[in-house]
Amino acid sequence: MESNNIGVLMTCPMNSHLEQELEKRFKLLRLWTVRDRSKFLAAHRNSIHADVGNCSVCANAELIEALPKLEIVASFSVGFDKIDLAKSKEKGIGVTHTPDVLTDDVADMAIGLILMVLRKFCESDRFVRSGKWKKGTFMLTTKFTGKRVGIIGLGRVGMAVAKRVEAFSCPIGYYSRTEKPEIKYKYYSSVVKLAANSDILVVICPLTEETRHIINREVIDALGPKGVLINIGRGLHVDEPELVSALVEGRLGGAGLDVFEHEPEVPEELFGLDNVVLLPHVGSGTVETRRDMADLVIANLEVHFLKRPLLTPVV
């Protein structure tokens, strides 16, 4: 198969380097540019052999069914909650993601959010820019070093977060599906228990049916009015309305959020709070890492069409 004739569907704009590289090698079809998607997919159903998606739009059952020649789904993300894995398996479609290359950036951002929330960086920067410093001193904030950090999900990114947190002399606890006996951090058998014993709770597990709304009212109450929640996982990990009311009412001490239930919509009740930091899903958002992710997507597609084993299949 001449590679320039291989149709690759890209679901939404995600990275211009990736787009350029895909265009050089394949026949790139940009789904977001067409008005009538069903008609478009029907017209190209026999030429699309690969789908490139991300954490917003990837490959649900409907899309998979519409593309009978689909052989591989390559996600420009480490999470694969927007891919119907069962349907992909049923059809023999390979699925890849981008683990490892973004681990450091996401872990860095978790620490960044902790510091931003505890030490109120965004608010103090506003304090200076607005001229208020000339009229008075900024409020006291809260120390990070030595605080108890609880991590939900001790996978690649969770471990990278733990490594950084150790350098700040913080005691570390964790929750995961099973206890990891080789890990020296303290295991808690429930998220509520972890929250009750943490000053800062970091969400970084995969999004599945079980972990949907893993941060609910009970967990938020256990974390308490001095506790801080950091979400660098998925918006759906958190019961967002519960979180918002807890923050507005002062039942939760603060939050650093890189993800939301309905991105790019962000609950506007949060805009007036100084104990919250809101980011537009930029956990892996560096020039270097996005380039590495793009190169990994391309590499997976290339090896697939050369009939070699996938580099980073979703397992």
Partner 1 sequence: MATDEDGALPIVLVHRPANFHFPFKDRLETQFRLLDPFDSDPPESTHSFFSRHAASVRVLLCVDPEPISGDLISLLPNLHLIVCSSAGVDHVDLQECRRRSIAVTSAGKAFSPDVADLAVGLLIDVLRRVSAGDRYVRARLWARNGEYQLGSKLGGKRVGIVGLGSIGTEIAKRLESFGCAISYNSRKKKPYVHFPWHKNVYDLAINSDILVVCCALTEETHHMINKDVMTALGKEGVIINVGRGDLIDEKELVQLLVIGELGGAGLDVFENEPDVPEELFGLNNVVLSPHCAVATPECFDALEELITANLKAYFSSNPLQSLVEFE
Q: Tell me which residues touch partner 1 (CB under 8 A).
A: 13, 104-105, 108-109, 111-113, 115-116, 119, 121-122, 124-125, 127-129, 133-134, 137-146, 163-164, 166-169, 263-266, 271, 277-280, 282, 285-290
Cα–Cα distances in angstroms (integers) from residue 243 to residues 21, 143, 208, 209, 227, in the given order: 41, 23, 20, 19, 12
Element (H, E) at 127: helix 121-129
Decide: 251 and 227 in contact? Cβ < 8 Å.
no
Q: Which two tokens stand for residue 87?
A: 């349907």
Q: Closer to partner 1 at the Cβ: 26 or 127? A: 127
Q: What type of residue sits at position 66?
A: A
Q: Which is nearer to partner 1, 165 or 236 (CB)?
A: 165
Min separation Cβ 295 and partner 1, Å? 14
Give the Cα separation of 188 and 48 in Å (integer): 46
Tell me whether residue 72 or residue 257 sits nearer to partner 1 (CB atom): 257
Number of other residues whose CB lies within 10 A of the CB of residue 136: 8
State the Cα–Cα distance between residues 264 and 56, nearest whole angstrom. 10
Q: Smallest distance, Å, CB 27 to partner 1?
A: 25
Least separation in angstroms between CB 219 and partner 1: 24
Q: Are 151 and 199 in contact (CB under 8 A)?
A: no
Q: Output the smallest distance, CB 123 to partner 1, in A.
A: 9
Task: Tell me the C-alpha distance between 235 and 224, whole Å.
Answer: 20
Q: Using alpha carbons only, give the angle 98, 240, 208 rounded to the nearest 5 degrees.
A: 40
Q: How far is the CB of 105 from partner 1 (least distance, A)?
A: 6
Helix (H, G, I), strand (E, B) or coil at 241: helix
CA distance 76 to 99: 10
Backbone phi, then psi, for 200, in 5-degree steps? -135, 130
Q: How far is the CB of 52 from partner 1 (least distance, A)?
A: 16
- The residues that are catalytic are 234, 263, 281
Cis peptide before 206 (omega within 30 of 0): no
Nearer to partner 1, 213 or 291 (CB): 291
Which CB atom, from 39 or from 132, has the smaller least distance to partner 1?
A: 132
Based on CB atoms, which residue is closest to partner 1, 215 or 277? Answer: 277
The number of residues making up the chain comes to 315
